[in-house]
């Protein structure tokens, strides 16, 4: 039974619906951030993140810091680049532009490799770019929340290892960790950054990062100070290592409530094999995409291999605007998101299908949402083929 007040089902690409136990952890009574009980919970949370990211290399380093997913960009730019460093940013939507802006803020030189809307840079283009210049790191948005475009991290990592092995591989996994397969060690990734409120299933407010031993070594070898104070690994690295060793430590006050909620959601996620979780997200996503297609609608990500498993960005029929269909869906107790890609924002909607809405067999959020979409479009005058 849910303890949550009745409310419209939130099916945007984050924040997602949360499990009751996770929300209950949010209201945990106040406790000291350096008290034994919280130190233990924080330490376990960091260790569980290793499992979520599928890394057993002890040199890998998790970070959990109060902030949003965006703070992960600052952590990468301020700790892993120094002024003048060249960075290759693969562009699949809104978020690459912002990540590039973040690099520029800290003095690195981002080069964006773009693809048409709904597509992603192809392997040969990436290979060509990597051969033209020495890049300190390459970034890729695993799932771009603005377009629903999925990148192929495994193949990309193989390419980088072959063509430019010294280039660090940074994955923006804000909209993928927990819904898309990520094998940190096997694929040889250097950083995955993410946030709490998407497929990880914990309310917003935490920046979550996994860094490889090689990333940490790169950080330690830097010639200049980290270019951020709040995001500085110099400040946070000893704190994270101490907490994971169950020793209290202080740089800035963490949020016991948010960390307890994260602990709860990670415990739930790790109770089943991760492969089952990813397979289930894929299965539900396929069903959604088939329904969308059968309705005669197109996705921003046209090619199947470009389609994320935790969200779907859907072009609306000609003559129907997002501002028209979204309030209709809200009346049907379903919340989708509007478009975020500047050029076409009013022409599409985004449907998030991650976490408990997909995994909890007691919920039928997805079927309800598809029904709402069908009748909403029909009420707007659209006739499916």
For a copy of itself, the binding residues (CB under 8 A) are 4-5, 7, 10, 12, 14-18, 23-24, 26-35, 66-71, 73-74, 77, 101-102, 104-106, 195, 197, 203-205, 225-232, 250-258, 335, 337, 340
Residue closest to 198 by CA, chosen among 309, 330, 41:
309
* Helical residues (DSSP H) of the chain, grouped into ranges: 20-26, 36-52, 70-80, 94-105, 123-132, 153-163, 184-187, 213-220, 233-244, 256-269, 274-294, 322-331, 356-359, 365-379
Q: 325-352 b/e with 16+ CB inside 10 Å = b?
A: bbebbeebebbbbbbbbeebeebbbbbb
Taking the C-alpha atoms of residue 325 and residue 327, their distance in angstroms, rounded to an integer, is: 6
Q: Which is nearer to a copy of itself, 32 or 286 (CB)?
A: 32
Compare residues 55 and 176 and give the one whose CB is closer to a copy of itself. Answer: 176
3-state helix, strand, coil in the chain (%, to 5): 45, 15, 40
Closest approach, Cβ 381 to a copy of itself, in A, equals 25
Distances (CA, A) of 325 to 149, 266, 347: 22, 35, 11
Tell me the C-alpha distance between 259 and 250, whole Å. Answer: 15
Minimum distance of a copy of itself from residue 35's CB (angstroms): 7
Minimum distance from residue 149 beta carbon to a copy of itself (Å): 19
Q: Which two tokens stand for residue 177?
A: 């960790």
Distance between first and last Cα of the chain: 40
CB of 65 to a copy of itself, least distance (A): 8
| Between 252 and 384, CB nearer to a copy of itself | 252
3-class SS of residue 208:
strand
183 is in an annotated binding site: no
CB neighbour class for 385 (10 Å; exposed up to 12, middle 13-18, buried from 19): exposed
Which residues are within 8 A (CB) of 101 and not within 5 positions of it... i.e. 6 or more apart?
none
Q: How far is the CB of 304 from a copy of itself (least distance, A)?
A: 29
Nearer to a copy of itself, 258 or 301 (CB): 258
Query: What is the nearest approach in angstroms of a copy of itself to the Cβ of residue 204?
Result: 4
Nearer to a copy of itself, 227 or 359 (CB): 227
Residue (23 or 380) nearer to a copy of itself, CB: 23
CA distance 169 to 187: 10
Report the nearest approach of a copy of itself to the CB of residue 231 (Å): 7
Contact predicate 26/5, CB 8 Å = no
As measured in angstroms, the least distance from the Cβ of 66 to a copy of itself is 5
Tokens 């995409």 found at: 289
Q: What is the CA radius of gyration of the chain?
A: 21
Annotated binding site: 350
Annotated binding site for substrate: 350
């Amino acid at each position: 039974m849910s303890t949550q007040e009745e409310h419209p089902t939130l099916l945007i690409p984050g924040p997602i619906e949360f499990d009751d136990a996770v929300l209950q952890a949010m209201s945990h009574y106040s406790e000291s951030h350096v008290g034994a009980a919280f130190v233990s919970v924080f330490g376990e949370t960091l260790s569980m993140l290793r499992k979520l990211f599928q890394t057993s290399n002890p040199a890998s380093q998790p970070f959990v810091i109060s902030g949003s997913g965006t703070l992960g960009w600052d952590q990468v730019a301020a700790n892993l680049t120094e002024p003048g460093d060249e960075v290759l940013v693969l562009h699949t939507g809104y978020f690459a532009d912002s990540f590039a802006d973040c690099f520029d803020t800290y003095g690195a030189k981002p080069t964006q490799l773009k693809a048409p809307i709904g597509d992603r840079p192809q392997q040969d283009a990436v290979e060509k770019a990597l051969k033209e210049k020495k890049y300190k790191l390459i970034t890729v948005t695993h799932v771009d929340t603005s377009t629903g475009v999925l990148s192929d991290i495994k193949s990309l990592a193989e390419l980088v290892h072959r063509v430019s092995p010294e280039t660090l591989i940074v994955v923006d996994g804000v909209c993928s960790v927990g819904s898309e397969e990520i094998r940190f060690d096997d694929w040889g990734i250097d950083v995955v950054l993410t946030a709490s409120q998407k497929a990880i299933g914990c309310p917003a407010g935490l920046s979550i990062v996994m860094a490889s031993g090689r990333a940490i070594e790169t950080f330690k070898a830097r010639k200049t100070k980290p270019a951020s104070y709040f995001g500085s690994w110099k400040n946070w690295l000893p704190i994270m290592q101490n907490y994971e060793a169950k020793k209290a430590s202080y740089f800035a006050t963490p949020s016991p409530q948010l960390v307890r909620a994260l602990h709860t959601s990670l415990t739930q996620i790790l109770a089943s094999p991760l492969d089952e979780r990813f397979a289930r997200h894929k299965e539900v996503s396929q069903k959604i995409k088939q329904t969308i297609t059968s309705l005669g609608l197109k996705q921003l990500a046209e090619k199947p291999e470009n389609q994320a498993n935790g969200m779907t960005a859907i072009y609306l029929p000609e003559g129907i605007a997002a501002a028209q269909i979204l309030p209709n869906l809200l009346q049907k107790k379903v919340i989708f998101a509007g478009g975020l890609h500047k050029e076409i924002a009013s022409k599409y909607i985004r449907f998030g299908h991650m976490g408990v809405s997909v995994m909890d067999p007691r919920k039928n959020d997805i079927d309800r949402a598809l029904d709402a979409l069908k009748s909403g479009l029909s009420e707007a005058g659209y006739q499916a083929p």
